[in-house]
Amino acid sequence: MAKRNVDGEGTIVQRKGGRWHAAAYVLTPDGTYKRRFVYGKTWDEVHDKLTRLKADSQSGIPIVTSKLSLCDFLTYWLTNVARIKVRPTTYAAYESLVRNYLAPGLGKKKLTRLTARDIRAFLTATARTCQCCAQGKDKARPEKKRRCCALGECCEVSL
């Protein structure tokens, strides 16, 4: 009789043509477990990939799904990783950066489709945009003290 794996250990199977694949249930960002597959040419290669996949899942790193947006991932990361691992002041700074810059600029982008080109375009646009006007900070300032963080004078874009 064949030996069974312990629950949660995963499975490794040889496919037609000699290639191998493995499957295991891993943690997703929404807190559920989903079955994920890894593929390779040899049993050892698939076993290594499966071990890494399970280790990431057990350490609390969510496995990225095709539906996960950057905003969803950053929200998960802030609440489940950053809040535990960094100081409260660092967490507050991270949360502010995500809320003010990353979520509005790149938040809707799917994590699996996020590229270096997207990030460069975002950084360039952010550097050229008056953040004081874009975030409404200049509305609260007296008219003579309004200034643009990118240009040095208020551009009055969203006033």
Q: What is the pLDDT of residues 51-75, one digit of tens each?
A: 888 887 777 666 666 678 888 888 8
What does the buried/exposed string (b/e) look like for 46-71 if buried means 16 or more CB atoms within 10 Å of the residue's CB?
bbebbeebbeebeeeebbebeebbbb
Any domain includes 117: yes
Q: How far apart are CA 145 and CA 137, in angstroms?
A: 11
Any domain includes 122: yes
Domain residue limits at 138: 129-159
| 108 and 134 assigned to the same domain | no
Beta bridge partners of 14: 20
Beta bridge partners of 69: 110
Q: Is the pTM of this model over 0.95?
A: no
| 115 and 139 assigned to the same domain | no
DSSP 66: T
Give pLDDT tens digits for 112-134.
Answer: 888 999 999 999 888 777 777 77
Any domain includes 88: yes
